[in-house]
Amino acid sequence: MDDEFRKESDAGEKMSEKITKERVFDAIRKVIDPEVGFNLVEMGLIYDAIIDDDNNVKVVMTLSTRGCPLHQLLMQWVKDAVKEIPGVGEVEVEIVWEPEWNISMAEDHVKKALGGA
**Any idea where the domains of the chain sit in the sequence?**
19-113
What is the share, in percent, of the chain residues with pLDDT greater than 70?
A: 85
Look over the chain and give the mean of its residue pLDDT values, rounded to a whole number.
87
- CATH architecture group of domain 19-113: 2-Layer Sandwich (3.30)
- The dihedral region occupied by 13, where left means phi > 0, alpha psi between -120 and 50, and beta the remainder, is alpha
Q: What angle do CA 103, 104, 105 make, to 5 degrees?
A: 90
Beta bridge partners of 61: 46, 95
Confidence of residue 116 (pLDDT cuts 50, 70, 90): confident
Q: Are 26 and 16 in contact (CB under 8 A)?
A: no
CA distances from 80 to 22, 42, 66, 99 (A): 17, 18, 22, 25
Confidence of residue 13 (pLDDT cuts 50, 70, 90): very low
pTM, entire model = 0.82
